[in-house]
Chain A
C-alpha cells in the first residue's frame, strides 16, 4: 500500500534477481505481500469471500435454518459444511484473507509512517532544475527586482499555508502543503487495525445469552437462568454482575386497521421492568423497547421477542395439584399460533404431559379447526392432547439427568389418553374452563393468559474501542480524500535583456484538478499583478 507519489518507490517495479537464497525468497515474498497490487487483490478476495455468508444460512445467526438446509440438500450440504459455508466468517479461508490483508497493511503502513514522520520533520525537497517538465508550469517576464518577486512569492505561499524553504541562494522557493492527507491516510489504515483488534478482543472477554421472563417473573443474572449462553475464553461465571430484574408488564400492540394492508403487523413492544443492580440495591423502574435496551452494570438487556404464557393448573388422578403456573408458548406464525407443552412430573399415580396449541384470537374454520386470525389475545383458546406415563414410571424423563427442552414433549415412553370411542382425547379450553382427562388420570384448568418477553443479555467491554477505531477511520479517510498534497516551486532568473523571469510549477499527489489554478495564482502574486 505504497502510494505512487514518490517515484522512487520500488514496490511495483518488477525485480529480476538471478538466484535467491532463503532470505532472498522471504524478502521477495514479503515485498509481494506488501505491494499495492496484492493488497488490491486481497480486498477483491475479501469482498468475494464475504458473499457466501449472505447466500447460505449461517450457524451463528440461525442454527435451525442450517439444519433445514442440510436435511434438504443431502449430497451437497455436507460438502458445503466441510468447507465452512455455514460458518463463513470464522472459516479458515475467510480468516486467511483478512489476516493476509492486515499483514499486508502493516507491512505497508509502518514503513510509510516512518517516511511520513521524516518528511514532516524535514524541509521540502530542492527545487528541480527544469521546472518546465513538471505537470503544471507557468512563466512570466517582468521588470521588478528579483528579491521583491521572491519575497512576494514567499508571502503568497505562506498565506496559502505552505511550508516554504529557499534554495539556490535565495533565487528559488520550494513549498509543500497537505501533509495532513498522508496523516489521515495512515490514521485510516491504523484505525482499521485498531478495529480488528477490538473485535478480536471482544471475542475473548464478552458474554451473551437469552433469557425468557413471564410477566410477574424475575430474572437474576446467573448461568442457570439463561436458556442459551455463550462467552469468550477469558470469561468465568463469577464475572456475571449480580443484577436482577422482574417483568412487571409487557405492552404489545398490533396494527388494527385493515386499510394499509398491514393488519396484525407489530406496532409497539414496551416492557416495564423493575431493576435491582445488586441483591441489596434499591429497585428502580425502567422501560425497555426494541431500540431502547436496559443498561445495567456493564451489560445490556435487549427486548428480543415476546409471546404468550398460558397459566394452567394440572390435577392428577388423586385430585392433588401436580402443576400450576405459566407455560411459555413459542409462537409459530405471524398470528401467534403458539406451541404449548405442559409437563406434570409430580402427578400420581401417572405422570402427565399435555401438548397442543394456543390460538390467541380463535375462529372455528370449517375443515381447518381452530385458527388464529389476529396476533392479539382477543379470543384465546387452548387445544391440547394428553399423554400419561406408566404408573410409577418417569416417562417424562425429567429425573433422567438428560437435559430436556421445556418446549417439546418426548412421547416415546408415554401413552396417549383416549376417549371412550377410541379417538385421542382433544381438550378445548377457554380461559377459566376446566376439562377432565380420560381414565380418571386428572384434569387441566386454563386459569388465564400472561405474556412473556425474551431478552438478549450481552456484555462486550471492547465495544467502545471498536466504535472509537471506526470513528478515527472515518476521520482519517475523509481527511486523506479531501486534503490535497501539493508541492509548488518558484524560481527567479534573468534573461538576456536583464529582465526578471518568474517561473512557477506544481506537482500533486493523485488527482488534483485545482493545481493549475493554484500555480497561476501564486505566479500572479509573485509578479505583483494581484494584491491580497
Chain B
C-alpha cells in the first residue's frame, strides 16, 4: 500500500489552517473574558450581585436548577460568539486534516504521536462544541482552545512524522476501539482539568473575599461561575470520563492478550495507564470521603491529569517498552 502524497500534503495544510483559525478563536475568547471582567466590575450586573460581601460564593447556581449550573453570572459578549464561530470553523479544518491523513494511508489516523496528538485534540474541540450545544460554557473557550492549540503546536513542531504504513503490532481493530475511547476519555479529562483549575482559583478568590481582602489580579474570574458551580461541572466531566478510561485500560489489556500473549505485563505504558486509573479512582473516592472533598479531591484530579500528560509525553519518548512505536 503506497502513501497518497497529495492527500498527506492536504492534511498538513488543513492542520496549519486550523491552527491559524484557532489562534483567532483564542484571541476572541480572551477578549471576551476581559470584557466580562470589566462589565462585571462596572456595569449594572455588579450592582445586583454583591460579590464583595457575604460568604463568598456568588449566589447564582446554588438556588437554581441544573441548567444554570454552568451559566456564568455575566453572559458572553459578542467576542464570545465570534470565538465559537471560529472554533467551529477550526474544528472543521482540523477534522478535515485528520480525515485526509487517514485517507492518505488508508488506515485510522492515530498510528504515531503526531497523529495521536492531532486526532486527540480534534476530539477535545468536538466534545467542547457538543457541551456548548447544551450549555453556555463559552467562558471555558480560552482554557480549551489554548491547550488544543498548544497540542497542535507541539505536534507539528516536535512530533511531526511523515505519513506511512503501520508496524504489524498495530494491525488490529483494537487500534480503532482502544484508542478512540482513550481519545474521548482524555478529552473529558482535559475539560475536567481546565474546570478544576478555574475552580481552585475561584475558591481562593472567594476565600480571600470572605476574609475581607479584595483579590488584586484576574478580574475576569469574577465573570465565571462560583467555585461550587465549577466543582459540579468538574464532577460531571470526571464521572463521564472514569468509566471510559476504565474501558480504555480493559480494551488495552484485551489487545495486549491477543498481540503479546499476556493481558497485563507491567509495560511502562500499562503501568502509567494503571496509575492514572488509580489516581482518578482516588479522586472519585475522595469526593465521597468526609474531610477529603473539595480542595483535596481537586488536587487528585490535577495529579491525574499530570499523569495523563506524563503517560503521553514522557513514557512514549523516554521509557523503554513495548509501546515505543510512537514514531519519533
- Which residues of A are in contact with B by a Cβ distance under 8 Å? 1, 3-4, 12, 36-37, 39-40, 43-44, 46-47, 50-51, 53-55, 57-58, 60-62, 65, 88-89, 199, 208, 255, 257, 259-262, 265-269, 289-293, 300, 302, 304, 456, 458, 460, 463, 466-467, 470-471, 473-474, 477-478, 481-482, 510-511, 513-514, 516-517, 520
Which 9 A-B pairs have CB atoms at the shortest separation, nearest pair first?
A260-B164, A54-B268, A291-B172, A36-B289, A302-B261, A54-B271, A47-B278, A513-B66, A478-B243
* Contact across chains for A513 and B242 when beta carbons are under 8 A apart: no
Segment with Cβ contacts to A, from B28-36, B38-46, B209-217, B245-253: B245-253
A53 to B273, CA, bound (A): 13
When distances are taken between beta carbons in the complex, the residues of chain B under 8 Å from A477 are 242-243, 246
When distances are taken between beta carbons in the complex, the residues of chain B under 8 Å from A516 are 64-66
When distances are taken between beta carbons in the complex, the residues of chain A under 8 Å from B164 are 255, 257, 260-262, 265
Most buried by A among B260, B266, B282, B289: B289
When distances are taken between beta carbons in the complex, the residues of chain B under 8 Å from A1 are 285
A4 to B65, CA, bound (A): 23
The answer, yes or no, to whether B3 is at the interface (CB within 8 Å) is: yes
B113 smallest CB distance to A (angstroms): 14
When distances are taken between beta carbons in the complex, the residues of chain A under 8 Å from B253 are 470
Q: A50 touches which one: B171, B265, B278 (CB < 8 A)? A: B278
* Contact across chains for B320 and A43 when beta carbons are under 8 A apart: no
The answer, yes or no, to whether B169 is at the interface (CB within 8 Å) is: yes
* Contact across chains for B254 and A40 when beta carbons are under 8 A apart: no
* Contact across chains for A43 and B281 when beta carbons are under 8 A apart: yes
* Contact across chains for A474 and B250 when beta carbons are under 8 A apart: yes
A11 smallest CB distance to B (angstroms): 9
* Contact across chains for A3 and B288 when beta carbons are under 8 A apart: yes
Q: B319 touches which one: A36, A54, A481 (CB < 8 A)? A: A54
Interface size on B, residues (CB 8 A): 66
A55 to B268, CA, bound (A): 8
22 CB < 8 A contacts A-B: A12-B289, A37-B292, A43-B282, A44-B282, A46-B278, A47-B279, A50-B278, A51-B271, A55-B319, A61-B265, A208-B262, A257-B2, A267-B165, A267-B168, A290-B168, A291-B171, A291-B255, A463-B257, A481-B242, A513-B65, A513-B236, A514-B65
A164 to B108, CA, bound (A): 52
Most buried by A among B261, B262, B282: B261
When distances are taken between beta carbons in the complex, the residues of chain A under 8 Å from B66 are 513-514, 516-517
The answer, yes or no, to whether B163 is at the interface (CB within 8 Å) is: yes
A3 smallest CB distance to B (angstroms): 5
A61 to B321, CA, bound (A): 9
When distances are taken between beta carbons in the complex, the residues of chain B under 8 Å from A266 are 167-168
Q: Give B169's nearest chain A residue, CB to CB.
A: A290
Q: Give A262's nearest chain B residue, CB to CB.
A: B164
The answer, yes or no, to whether B89 is at the interface (CB within 8 Å) is: no
When distances are taken between beta carbons in the complex, the residues of chain B under 8 Å from A255 are 164-165
A208 to B262, CA, bound (A): 10
Most buried by B among A50, A54, A513: A54
A511 to B240, CA, bound (A): 14
* Contact across chains for B320 and A65 when beta carbons are under 8 A apart: yes
When distances are taken between beta carbons in the complex, the residues of chain B under 8 Å from A53 are 266, 268, 271
* Contact across chains for B266 and A61 when beta carbons are under 8 A apart: yes
* Contact across chains for B289 and A4 when beta carbons are under 8 A apart: yes
Q: Give B304's nearest chain A residue, CB to CB.
A: A47
B40 smallest CB distance to A (angstroms): 24
* Contact across chains for A300 and B168 when beta carbons are under 8 A apart: no
A130 to B319, CA, bound (A): 61
A88 to B275, CA, bound (A): 14
Q: Give B322's nearest chain A residue, CB to CB.
A: A61
When distances are taken between beta carbons in the complex, the residues of chain B under 8 Å from A456 are 260-261
B201 smallest CB distance to A (angstroms): 21
| Known contacts A259-B5, A266-B167; A510/B288 CB under 8 A | yes
Q: A40 touches which one: B171, B264, B285, B321 (CB < 8 A)? A: B285
When distances are taken between beta carbons in the complex, the residues of chain A under 8 Å from B262 are 208, 458, 460
* Contact across chains for B288 and A36 when beta carbons are under 8 A apart: yes
* Contact across chains for B167 and A265 when beta carbons are under 8 A apart: yes
| Known contacts A43-B278, A260-B3, A456-B260; A4/B266 CB under 8 A | no
When distances are taken between beta carbons in the complex, the residues of chain A under 8 Å from B278 are 43, 46-47, 50
When distances are taken between beta carbons in the complex, the residues of chain B under 8 Å from A458 are 261-262
B73 smallest CB distance to A (angstroms): 17
A53 to B269, CA, bound (A): 11
| Known contacts A43-B281, A260-B164, A477-B246; A510/B287 CB under 8 A | yes
A268 smallest CB distance to B (angstroms): 6
When distances are taken between beta carbons in the complex, the residues of chain A under 8 Å from B292 are 36-37, 40
* Contact across chains for B5 and A47 when beta carbons are under 8 A apart: no
A60 to B279, CA, bound (A): 25
Most buried by A among B163, B268, B287: B268
When distances are taken between beta carbons in the complex, the residues of chain A under 8 Å from B312 are none
* Contact across chains for A261 and B162 when beta carbons are under 8 A apart: yes
* Contact across chains for A268 and B242 when beta carbons are under 8 A apart: no
B157 smallest CB distance to A (angstroms): 17
| Known contacts A260-B3, A456-B260; A474/B243 CB under 8 A | yes
When distances are taken between beta carbons in the complex, the residues of chain B under 8 Å from A265 are 164, 167
B142 smallest CB distance to A (angstroms): 24
A259 to B167, CA, bound (A): 16
Q: Give B268's nearest chain A residue, CB to CB.
A: A54
